[in-house]
């Protein structure tokens, strides 16, 4: 009885693995069929084969690499600056009451404004320069990381701080070692959220006017009615964002090294 039950359970498990492996090819196949059947307009809804050709062409001409680098450098640069600022100010507002009184009300007012809403003023301030794009990404990342750090710092085990006080820990070491490492599990969650946010804001930044980048390529392709290229761009953006999130998750796991 029990043996039979177990083998049927393992059969179910095997079946679900099989279904999972076939899921994407199956949908791609159905998409190919529908796009080729003439039910839909193939110009607006090209089959995956057309998308694949567009992607290969994109890579072959060398444009893909340039676009990738342009987008990656905006995301990485904006993330680094925003995250560093968010962590530093988060530790200070979380731990030093005077700094918190000074900055927290301001940050809480600015934080809920979607970064995309800043596109018009960013264009006024920075034109179409890289600085403006960096600004948007930094803006999106900063508040997320700041809030996570601020909350994390306040949740640091008070006993750890007392123990460190009793051992004569000087104030700078208290902030940048005990408090920051104590808050690290929260900070990494904030950083991971900020990875996705940096991609959202990248879209806004590149749509606002740029000369290279994955989202720029999508926009140009749209204007030329190259739907296959548009979809190829979306796929590239999705893949890039996915890889960034996964690799950050692995990194975050290692960052809290003592667990």
Partner 1 sequence: MIPSLLCPDQPLRLVDTHSPSASARQAIIRVEDLSIVFDVPSGHVIAVDRVSLAVTQGEFVSIVGPSGCGKSTLLNAMAGLERPFEGQVLIAGEAMLAPRPEIGMVFQQPHLFPWKSVRRNIAHGPRALGKSKAEALRIADDLIAMIGLTKFASAYPHTLSGGMQQRVAIARALANQPRVLLMDEPFGALDAQTRAVMQDNLLELRERINATIVFVTHDIDEAILLSDRVLIMSAGPGRILKDLQVSLPRPRSSAIVAEAAYLALKRDCLDLIRSEGRRAFEQMEIRT
Q: Which of 169, 193, 196, 241 forms a contact with partner 1 (CB under 8 A)?
A: 169
Q: Is 240 in the site for partner 1 (CB under 8 A)?
A: no
Question: Coil, strand or helix: which one is 114?
Answer: coil
Alpha-carbon distance of 28 to 20, in angstroms, equals: 14
Handedness of CA 183, 189, 195, 197 (dihedral sign): negative
Tokens of 18: 């099989």
Residues in the chain: 259
Q: Where do we find the tokens 């004569």? A: 168
Q: Is 172 in the site for partner 1 (CB under 8 A)?
A: no
Binding window for partner 1 (CB under 8 A); candidates: 115-123, 147-155, 176-184, 208-216: 176-184
Number of residues located near partner 1, criterion CB under 8 A = 19
Binding window for partner 1 (CB under 8 A); candidates: 44-52, 80-88, 165-173, 221-229: 165-173
Shortest CB 157 distance to partner 1, Å? 7
Q: Which of 159, 223, 224, 254 forms a contact with partner 1 (CB under 8 A)?
A: 159
Handedness of CA 217, 219, 223, 227 (dihedral sign): positive
Which positions from 179 to 208 touch partner 1 by CB under 8 A, shown as an x/- string? --x--x------------------------
Question: Which stretches of the chain are assigned E, i.e. beta strand?
Answer: none
Q: Is 252 in the site for partner 1 (CB under 8 A)?
A: no
């Amino acid at each position: 009885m029990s043996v039979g039950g177990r083998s049927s359970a393992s059969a179910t498990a095997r079946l679900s693995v099989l279904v999972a492996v076939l899921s994407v090819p199956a949908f791609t196949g159905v998409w190919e069929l529908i796009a080729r059947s003439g039910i839909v307009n193939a110009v607006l809804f090209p089959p995956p084969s057309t998308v694949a050709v567009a992607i290969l062409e994109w890579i072959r001409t060398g444009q893909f690499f340039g676009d990738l680098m342009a987008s990656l450098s905006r995301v990485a640069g904006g993330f680094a600056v925003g995250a560093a600022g968010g962590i530093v100010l988060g530790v200070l507002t979380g731990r030093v009451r005077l700094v918190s009184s000074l900055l927290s009300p301001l940050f809480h007012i600015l934080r809920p404004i979607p970064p995309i809403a800043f596109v018009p003023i960013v264009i006024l301030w920075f034109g179409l320069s890289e600085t403006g794009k960096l600004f948007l990404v930094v803006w999106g990342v900063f508040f997320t990381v700041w809030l996570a750090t601020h909350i994390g710092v306040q949740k640091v085990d008070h006993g750890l701080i007392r123990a460190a006080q009793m051992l004569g820990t000087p104030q700078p070491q208290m902030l940048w070692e005990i408090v920051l490492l104590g808050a690290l599990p929260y900070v990494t969650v904030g950083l991971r959220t900020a990875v996705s946010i940096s991609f959202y804001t990248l879209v806004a930044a590149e749509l606002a006017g740029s000369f290279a980048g994955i989202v720029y390529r999508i926009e140009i392709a749209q204007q030329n009615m190259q739907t296959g290229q548009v979809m190829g761009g979306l796929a590239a953006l999705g893949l890039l964002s996915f890889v960034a999130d996964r690799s950050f998750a692995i990194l975050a796991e290692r960052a809290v090294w003592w667990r």
